[in-house]
Amino acid sequence: MKTYKAVIFDLFDTLVDFDRTQIPTVTIDGREIRSTAGETYKVLAQHAPHTTFATYYQALSAVTKELLAIRERDHLEIPARRRYEMLCDRLGMPPDAAEHCIDSMLATHHRYMHDCTVCPPERTQVLESLKARYALGLLSNFDSAETGLKILATHGLQPYLSPIHISEAIGYRKPRREAFLHTAEAMSVAPQEVLFIGDTFALDVVGAKSVGMDAAWFDRRETPPTLDKPQPDYTITRLIDLLEIL
């Protein structure tokens, strides 16, 4: 069994899960979907009462699609605030009014992102078991470092992890090599001395393997891997199974 000096975790659907039933629903084209758009629209309507939800949602969707395309192309994080800045600009809001509106919409959106996270006890058990033997770090794609840190603190995970690298803060998104190399460097270890654990094959496994890290794929859905890409060194369906590897 290979010996590691450091273990780096993904955050979402690895250390914490999303309970998507806690996200409100909105009806779009006769179809009910889970989205914070209805709640953020209520905020905007206080500042732009003549803007309909349909107009708001159309503009929000267009901005989101544009930013996702840029983000997926470059694998550089775009802060959540930028989406709402572009939205308010598209809707023609005066800058002074937009500033306060953006603050309130961000707070509303991220409150739901925070409140819908859950951390099964086994996740903390794994960190507690590993903390004396390995340096433990975190590398997560998320457009709000502030909310990510709040989620970690709420679930008691923050003290176990150093560094805590969230893409909004470091700029890079997985699977960019720089994200993994920057985190290993901050832990004073070589990539070959690291085991990375995450749930998304294309981001976590492929990204980690690209810099020489070993990868454990947390695959609860038992998804067939992409065979023309680097394969994980381990595949687990429960995070606690990591204790059989380390």
The token pair at 47 is 């500042």
Domain range for 63: 20-115
Number of structural domains found in the chain:
2
Of 74, 100, 115, which one is at a domain's C-terminal end? 115
Within a domain: 1: no
**pLDDT tens digits, 27-77:** 998 999 999 999 999 999 999 999 999 999 999 999 999 999 999 999 999
**pLDDT tens digits, 179-237:** 999 999 999 999 999 999 999 999 999 999 999 999 999 999 888 877 788 999 999 99
Do 198 and 141 sit in the same domain of this protein?
yes
DSSP letter string, 11-71? SBTTTBEE-GGGS-EEEETTEEEE-SHHHHHHHHHHH-TT--HHHHHHHHHHHHHHHHHHH
